[in-house]
Amino acid sequence: MMSDGWDPAAFRARVDGVLHRFVAEEADQLAAIDPALAPVATRLEAAVADGKRLRAAFCYWGWRAVGQPDGDALVRAAASMELVHAAAVVHDDLIDDSSLRRGRPTAHVALRGAVRGRPRAVTAARSLAMLVGDLLMGLAGQLFATSGLPAAFLARARPLWSVLARELVAGECLEILRTGADPDTAASLKVIRYKTAKYTVEHPLLIGGALAGAGERLREGYSAYGLPLGEAFQLRDDLLGLFGDPDRTGKANADDVRGQRPTALLAETWRLAGEGDRKRLRALLGRRDPDGDGLRAVREVMSRLKTPDRIEAMITARVEEALGALHELDVPPHAAEALTVLARSAAVRLS
């Protein structure tokens, strides 16, 4: 059990314990069906091996901010948010054809070893990864339903799962539909909101609040805090994706440029660029391997136009908006303190 004080490391350890035990049992049951499934079972466990556990933390404090106590059943329910994230990561890496995540091969790359020498092995590995992501999403619902919280509490939150899934899929679809199109900041921010912001902060908070019986005013406050903070989280990710240290981020710097993804960083660069810079960007974006000189050239254009500074300002404004909304909420001091710490850790980070 936790006291009212917020110990992020202790909380992560509790969530890790829940996830590792639960997924290990599911992986064992999968592998028991046939030995050939062992590599797939391994990817299930790898998907939850580590992480910041921010989504679980927001769900936890969505409950605690209502005045409800800490408990192991709550932590199990909150941990289900991390399985949603694990599923989204596997699918996102597959859609983006990313080769690295947290410094290790992504699921669809790692699974090539299971089908090496088979016809259309790369396609087969991608199909296996897609199914790993699907199973992780199913397991999220199972962990939530079997968390140990009263059935009446779970029933209050269940409708929010459909909203979460719908909006997450909408965001992924919008990113696919916008990829390769002329960059547009408003469109990029909409992708961010639905693809990441909502399921990272707002929905976990609302689900935790619904479990605890939060009233309408508090739920509105959760959204007023959660949406701008979730956007700040993804804006930071976009900056780290291109300008961060790969040893810290665990991702390849060139992914967003190679994929010509609709990031706000690229959209703001495009908006500020003159015809000469736009011509240069057209020649660089979408190249299969824009590393070395090509990647440096994109960074040079962005830096000269001061786009990273503009994204930093957008992050700062959104964090301030979120904290302003938090300060308007009537929540216990320990909950306000924890949500303030979480806001800083979500938006100010190196990985």
The predicted-structure confidence for 125-134, as pLDDT tens digits, reads as follows 999 999 999 9
- Regarding predicted confidence, which is higher, 315 or 4? 315
- pLDDT at residue 332 above 60? yes
Q: Would you call 159 exposed, middle or buried from its count of C-beta atoms within 10 A (0-12, 13-18, 19+)?
A: exposed
Closest CA to 339 of 349, 348, 326: 326
Between 71 and 103, residue with greater pLDDT: 71
Please state the pTM of the whole predicted model.
0.94
Q: Where are the domains of the chain?
A: 8-347
pLDDT (0 to 100) of residue 4: 63
Neighbours of 223 (CB within 10 A): 16
pLDDT band at 288 (very low <50, low <70, confident <90, very high): low
- The average pLDDT across 19-27 equals 98
**Tokens linked to 182:** 């002329």
Residue 197's identity, in one-letter code, is A
User: DSSP characters for 70-116?
Assistant: P-HHHHHHHHHHHHHHHHHHHHHHHHHT--EETTEE-HHHHGGGGST
pLDDT in tens, 187-219: 999 999 999 999 999 999 999 999 999 999 999
pLDDT digits (tens, 9 = 90+) for 109-122: 999 999 999 899 99
> Is the model's pLDDT at 290 over the cut of 60?
no
Averaged pLDDT, 319-329: 97
- Mean pLDDT score of the chain: 93
Predicted confidence band of residue 174 (pLDDT cuts 50, 70, 90): very high
pLDDT, position 1: 44
Average pLDDT rounded to a whole number, residues 89-102: 91
State the pLDDT confidence band at 169, using cuts at 50, 70 and 90.
very high
The confidence score (pLDDT) of residue 291 equals 55
Q: Residue 237 pLDDT more than 60?
A: yes
Task: Give the mean model confidence (pLDDT) for residues 143-158.
Answer: 98
The region of weakest confidence among 87-91, 107-111, 138-142, 287-291 is 287-291
Q: What is the mean pLDDT of residues 319-330?
A: 97
Separation of alpha carbons 57 and 62, rounded Å: 8
Per residue in 53-74, is it b (16+ CB within 10 Å) or e — as a string? bbbbbbbbbbbbbbebeeeeeb
Percentage of residues of the chain with pLDDT beyond 90: 80
Fold of 8-347: Farnesyl Diphosphate Synthase (1.10.600)
